[in-house]
Amino acid sequence: MKLFLDTANVEQVKEIAAWGVLDGVTTNPSLVAKEGKDFEETVMAMCDLVPCVSAQVTATDFDNMVMQGKEYASWHKHVVVKVPMTTEGLKAIHHFTNHGIKTNTTLVFSVPQAILAAKAGATMISPFIGRLDDIGEDGMGLIEEIMEAWQWNRFKTEVLVASTRHPRHIVEAAMLGAHICTVPYEVFKKLPMHPLTDSGLEKFLSDWKKVQK
Q: Which of 130, 145, 147, 185 binds ligand G3P (CB under 6 A)?
A: 130
- How far apart are the C-alpha atoms of 166 and 44, rounded to whole Å? 28
Pairing verdict, β 2-6 and 180-184? parallel
CA distance 57 to 126: 15
Q: How many CA atoms lie within 13 A of 39 on its CB side?
A: 18
**Single residue of 43, 72, 163, 170 touching ligand G3P by CB under 6 A:** 163
Interaction of residue 131 with ligand G3P, rule CB under 6 A: yes
| Annotation marks residue 82 as catalytic | yes
Query: Does the protein bind ligand G3P through residue 2 (CB under 6 A)?
Result: no
Stretch that binds ligand G3P, among 41-49, 112-120, 125-133, 197-205 (CB under 6 A): 125-133
Q: Nearest distance from residue 82's CB to ligand G3P, in Å?
A: 8
Q: Which of 28, 42, 68, 104 binds ligand G3P (CB under 6 A)?
A: 28
The answer to the question of residue 39 lying near ligand G3P (CB under 6 A) is no
- Shortest separation between residue 144's beta carbon and ligand G3P, angstroms: 18
Is residue 182 involved in binding ligand G3P (CB under 6 A)? yes
- Closest by CA position to 1, among listed 192, 147, 193: 147
**28: which residues sit within 8 A by CB, 6+ positions away?**
8, 54, 56, 82, 106
Beta carbons within 8 Å of 104's beta carbon, 6+ residues apart: 26, 54, 80, 81, 82, 83, 122, 123, 124, 125, 126, 160
162 binds ligand G3P (CB under 6 A): yes
32 within 8 A of 64, measured Cβ to Cβ: no
Task: Give, as ranges, the residues between 60 and 119 that touch ligand G3P (CB under 6 A).
Answer: none
The residues binding ligand G3P (CB under 6 A) are 6, 26, 28, 128, 130-131, 162-163, 182
Catalytic residue numbers? 82
